[in-house]
Structure formats: structure tokens, C-alpha cells
Amino acid sequence: MLYAINRLLQRLSDKDRETFEHVGRVGALAQCWVTHYPLAGLEDRQVFIVGCCVHDVGKIKIETAILQKTCKLDQGEWDRMRTHPESGSELLMQEGMKDARLLDIVKYHHERWDGSGYPTGLGSSRIPRLARMCSIVDAFDAMISDRPYKKGKTVEQAKVELLEQSGIQFDEELVRQFLSLPDHLLRNPPAVRLDEVAEQGDLFYELTSHRKN
């Protein structure tokens, strides 16, 4: 499995370096979260970290011009972008990954608590818990990261936005748990080494946080 994930992440890096760096930071934040608030089982912890590291792998299938566009997407481009969760799940299945928890993270990380998300419009507790967690970490990193067309928010500004969207976009209980992490970890989480997560020592792909201080 690790070799297949490495291969997909290399393809994502080749396609769009910014997206690759984003998934690395999301995976690092996920690791911090479940280190401070361990999930019930070790397997769930591993699946959550790996799932966050590959949550945007479906963007391999999106045209580079759309991924790197620096202004607002038009409706056709937005419709195309919205296909990436299902494409990512399909790519993982094609690589032989069948764990439903992993596939759910990738497929449902853009669902919203109020049911207005995509691709299926699931809402509240019908969204798998690990996908709900990934959506919070994904959004938080997007908020605080600099882009060519916008300056990232401060950690405090991002916290406020997550709280404002609790019960609308996000699971309120999970938001409060995530935001209780120390600020220094939210700003610069330690990098993820997937070989350590998977406990397979001879093959690894290190994802650095790429956070600019």
C-alpha cells in the first residue's frame, strides 16, 4: 500500500506542487490531532493520517490550468474541480486500496454538516467521522496558507472562521477539539513520515510542512 501511495503522491507533486505541499501539511496537522486526542484504535489513527495525506489525490485528474488558476473559477471549471473527491477514491481503489475508512476520507472530505457539500450532499452524522475531521484540517490549512492571489489568515483569524462555521460547514464538537491543540502545532506541525505511520521501515515518503514563518 505504501508504495502505491508514494507513487500517487509523486504524481500529485508533478502535477501541482502547491497541492502536494498542502496535503503534506494537512497530514501533519492530522498527526498532531490524533497524537493529542488518540482515536479508539491504532488502525483508525493510521488511516486518518494517511487519508489526510492523500485527500486531494484526485486532483491528479484535474487540468493544470484549473488547479493553477489565480482568479475565480467559472461554473464549468468549478464543476470539474468538484469531481476530485470521487476521482481520488477511484484512484485509490485502482491501486488496490479497499479500506472503506480511507476511501471515505477522500470521497467525503468536502461534505458539509448542513448537507450542502459535495459530492453526495451528506449531512451531520451521516458524514463518516474521519471525513468530518479531515474537512476541518483541510479548511484550516487552506485558510492560513499564502496563495499567489491572497495572503493567508492568521491562526487566530482561522480559529474564528472555523467556530463561525461550526454547525454549518463543520461538526462543532470536532472543531472545538481541534482548536484546543497548541498554537505552535497549528502553525508548524511536525512532518509526517508515512513509513513510521504504516510501520513499514524500508520505503517511505516524507511530507514536509512547507509552512513559511
User: What does the pLDDT read at residue 213?
Assistant: 39
User: What does the pLDDT read at residue 195?
Assistant: 62
Radius of gyration of the chain (CA): 16
Cβ-Cβ contacts under 8 Å for 201 (sequence gap 6 or more): 195
- pLDDT exceeds 70 at position 107: yes
pLDDT band per the 50, 70, 90 thresholds, residue 197: low
Tell me the pLDDT tens digit for each residue of 141-162.
999 999 877 899 999 999 999 9
**Phi then psi dihedrals of residue 166, to 5 deg:** -65, 135
Mean pLDDT for 102-114 is 98
Share the mean pLDDT of the chain: 90
Tell me the pLDDT tens digit for each residue of 4-48.
898 999 999 999 999 999 999 999 999 999 999 988 777 899 999
Q: What's the rounded Cα separation, in Å, for the pair 7 and 13?
A: 10
Domains of the chain, CATH where assigned:
2-202 (1.10.3210.10)
Cβ-Cβ contacts under 8 Å for 102 (sequence gap 6 or more): 47, 50, 51, 54, 92
Q: What's the rounded Cα separation, in Å, for the pair 201 and 27?
A: 19
Tell me the pLDDT tens digit for each residue of 70-86.
988 999 999 999 999 99
- pLDDT exceeds 90 at position 129: yes
